Amino acid sequence: MTVDAAFQEELQHLHEVTGRISAQLDRLRQKEQPAASGDPDEAETADIVAAQVVAATRAQLADALQRALQEPYFGRLDFAEGDQPIPERLYIGKRGILDPDSGDPIVIDWRAPVASMFYTFSGQQGQDRAGYMSPDGWVEGRIDRKRNIVIRQGKLQRVVDSYVRGEENLGVADEFLLYRLSEHRDHRLRDIVATIQAEQDRIIRADRNLAVVIQGVAGSGKTTVALHRLAYLLYQYADRMRPERMIIFAPNAMFVDYISEVLPELGVGGIQQTTFTRWALAKLGHQVRLRDPRERLARWFAVQPDPALAEAYRVLKYKGSPALREVLDQAVVEWTASAVPDVDFSPWAGEVLPAATIREWFYADYRHEPPLRRRDRVLARVKRWYETRIAEAEWSREEKAARRQQAANRYHAYASRWPDVTPWALYEALLRKDSAWTPNAAAAVPDWVAAYHRSLRGQGASGSRIRRAADTEAAAATGANQHKADRSRPALSAAGEARRPLVDAEDLAGILYLDVRLRGVRSDETFDHVVIDEAQDFSPLQIILLQQFCPQGSFTILGDLSQSIHSYQGIDDWEEFLRLFPAERRTFHKLDVSYRSTMEIIEFANQIAAGTPGFVPARPVFRSGEPVRVEPVAAEERYERAAAAVARLQAEHTTIAVICRSDAACDEYARALAASGIPAHRIGAGDEHYEGGVSVLPVYLAKGLEFDAVLMVDVDESSYTADPLSAKLLFVGCTRALHQLWLQYSGRPSPLLPAGVHPQAHPHMYGVGETGRPLSRTS
Ligand SMILES: Nc1ncnc2c1ncn2[C@@H]1O[C@H](COP(=O)(O)OP(=O)(O)OP(=O)(O)O)[C@@H](O)[C@H]1O
């Protein structure tokens, strides 16, 4: 079939399909009923509610059909089941569309099992057989054709056969991918349903109750794949998973904004998208406040790192470690072991509920409950116990009232003998090791951790107020068989704390873990699935904590160790996470092809990171673009030169980033751009929106984002020194660029730049002319 004939054939089909969709839409609109008038009675109200539900469903369908009119499908697979001579034409789109009369599919949802062949079938080595796992088992057949179809705003734009049975099929699939990759993007991440690659498809369709851990190089589609996986899970397990019970943890609020359009495009709404810090603070009911992270970020990422930070790194690593988890578990066991006051309860003289019985309730009857819930249940039972006694007694009404009053007073006194604890107070007692009550479990906390932790808080600023039990009142509540009051361990409470204590983000996992251990997780707090993006910056304790909220162990955990710029809190090896899951409940995937950037950019970036421990080079797809440009600029002209470079880039690109080494530098460059009449968005740590256009941002915030063109400024020997953190930062900055990468430096270039740009190695490359000289692999 000629290209033209194929185009005509698809034009005809598109016409037919849009006609059928429009007819469905018309029918839906005709069914819209006028709103009822007047005051409805009860039966009418029920009818109205039912009608509203139907109307909402119809509105959803109408919305889906309306969207489908713009781009009903993107692919066609001619599949002959078994040995059928005539194949069926399967059109694959973002949403499945059925013929309302016959029930036949007009368009097949990309997530349907049969559609998986569109992604996994390559037709290599003359292989024309393919299969998929249907609900009724494995189905096999023959593929006659695989076709990519581009439709925009309802108009057919491109038809490419990436496989035709019996013909030579070399590289056409790649050609279509390249066509999609070379497109300019707007300022948000997009769906990739038309070009999902086989290795990505495997991850997207991985089983539900697995921890899927992905190590993927920069630009390998990790974030995109995770979002598609959510859409897949919701489709495939519609009866068992709900969007509002799924959560995506993103590295910062702006990233949440950046990825916010993919799921709606895939027809999925209602999934929570947040940062770990935000979520944990909300979970703790804002019992604690977060110290302003900006000052710390500035210290971590300072051009000349503070040597004292090494100690801080060590402590923060400990705060995210499984070793701390053991301490926390032990502390809860300890607290639980002495939670029941060693006194009987006597509601009135002569009546006693022995301490031994109460202990039995706590340690035997309710042993499966977390300790604070147990405490509440036991106290409620104590109350019920004396109320039953009163109810069953043959006393006068007045007498009963008097007893009830007395019992209530004694009950309050008794209840106050039960130790109270807040997760924060317990955490603080464990990590400081110098509080009036220090649990035995604290012995396992290294002294250097405690010393550092104390120095952070300042000696007087501890939030762990420790109070003695209200002994006087309690004494009145103890009965004849009074045991020695348990004074050895006073209760912990943050009650009365005038100000909420200040903590660092790295403390949140430990504090919330204690909360969970003490209080438990309610079933309505649990998740059906958890996605963790940039997971290399998560700690094992954060994962352990999230496991408590995700009982099915359904996780997608993705990241890139080469981009672990927050190494003080993250991991060095995925094994640290993998070992937290049983072997049969986890899978590990590696993605090493980078789809984002051109070959030139990837090869350049690979050389920068080559020396960092554990670095995995990215493999580019064969997409060639502009050479990477490395330009020396005179120090006093650097702002003007940056503005000139941005102006040049604007001629060809939509989203452009000026990436600086520090926040202070960002301010300077943003000012310079403004002075040159270039409106730019200065992105800072607290920002929640990514606007597109020209952005100026510090390199530590660039992770996860992408831009058509990137200008990295001040890439000199003092801003990016020869150390792993600088190498990772420079690598992250460079790999943000899709189509063009431009670097400027004053003085001497960073030693991290590929050898070709060093004056020593290639003197002719140095001292380039006014506009700089392109560096290409051939130059
Ligand atoms: N199969 C694909 N088809 C088309 N585009 C793709 C494909 N896979 C990834 N991309 C594109 O590559 C770019 C990088 O994707 P994404 O941001 O998900 O990668 P990442 O691995 O999370 O990157 P990083 O670690 O650098 O943040 C995006 O523009 C995405 O649309």
Residue nearest to atom 25 of ligand 1 (CA): 218
Return the pLDDT at 187: 66
Average pLDDT score over residue span 478-499: 40
620 in ligand 1 pocket by Cβ < 6 Å? no
Return the pLDDT at 720: 94
731 in ligand 1 pocket by Cβ < 6 Å? no
- Report how far ligand 1's centroid is from the alpha carbon of 599 (Å): 15
- Check: CB of residue 79 under 8 Å from CB of residue 85: no
Q: Which of 51-55, 605-609, 666-670, 687-691 has the lowest mean pLDDT?
A: 51-55
Return the pLDDT at 289: 87
Return the pLDDT at 182: 76
- Report how far ligand 1's centroid is from the alpha carbon of 602 (Å): 13
**CA-CA distance, 216 to 342, in Å (whole number)?**
56
528 in ligand 1 pocket by Cβ < 6 Å? no
Query: Tens digits of per-residue pLDDT, 93-108?
Result: 999 999 888 888 999 9
Task: List binding-site positions for ATP.
Answer: 216-223
Return the pLDDT at 494: 43
Residue nearest to atom 1 of ligand 1 (CA): 196
Return the pLDDT at 622: 79
Three-state DSSP state, 290:
strand
pLDDT interval class at 574 (50, 70, 90): very high
224 in ligand 1 pocket by Cβ < 6 Å? yes
424 in ligand 1 pocket by Cβ < 6 Å? no
- Measured CA angle at 308 (ends 307, 311), to 5 deg: 115
Query: Tens digits of per-residue pLDDT, 228-276?
Result: 999 999 999 999 999 999 999 998 888 888 888 888 888 888 999 999 9
Return the pLDDT at 769: 29
- Report how far ligand 1's centroid is from the alpha carbon of 188 (Å): 12
- Report how far ligand 1's centroid is from the alpha carbon of 179 (Å): 15
Query: Tens digits of per-residue pLDDT, 10-47?
Result: 999 999 999 999 999 998 888 765 555 566 667 677 77
Return the pLDDT at 468: 28
Return the pLDDT at 566: 67
In ligand 1, the atom with minimum distance to the C-alpha of 180 is 4
Three-state DSSP state, 491:
strand
Return the pLDDT at 478: 34
195 in ligand 1 pocket by Cβ < 6 Å? yes
In ligand 1, the atom with minimum distance to the C-alpha of 559 is 25
Domains 200-299+528-594 and 613-775 share a fold: yes
Average pLDDT score over residue span 593-598: 93
- Report how far ligand 1's centroid is from the alpha carbon of 596 (Å): 5
pLDDT above 90 covers what percent of the chain?
Answer: 60
Which residue type is seen at 747? G
Average pLDDT score over residue span 280-307: 77
In ligand 1, the atom with minimum distance to the C-alpha of 200 is 1
* Distances 523 to 345, 454, 539, 548 between C-alpha atoms, Å: 33, 36, 25, 11
Query: Where is mean pLDDT largest: 266-270, 318-322, 464-468?
Result: 318-322
Instruction: Give the residues across from 693 on adjacent strands.
Output: none
500 in ligand 1 pocket by Cβ < 6 Å? no
Q: Which of 66-70, 512-516, 538-542, 585-589 has the lowest mean pLDDT?
A: 66-70
**Residue 477 confidence (pLDDT) above 60:** no
Average pLDDT score over residue span 612-632: 89
Return the pLDDT at 31: 73
What letter would DSSP give residue 634? -
**Residue 778 confidence (pLDDT) above 60:** no
200 in ligand 1 pocket by Cβ < 6 Å? yes
Domain boundaries, the chain: 3-196, 200-299+528-594, 310-337+421-506, 345-417, 613-775
- Measured CA angle at 606 (ends 712, 662), to 5 deg: 30
CATH class of 613-775: alpha beta
Query: Tens digits of per-residue pLDDT, 120-140?
Result: 988 777 788 899 999 899 999
CATH superfamily of 200-299+528-594: P-loop containing nucleotide triphosphate hydrolases (3.40.50.300)
* Distances 709 to 112, 453, 648, 744, 777 between C-alpha atoms, Å: 36, 43, 11, 14, 19
Task: List binding-site positions.
Answer: 216-223
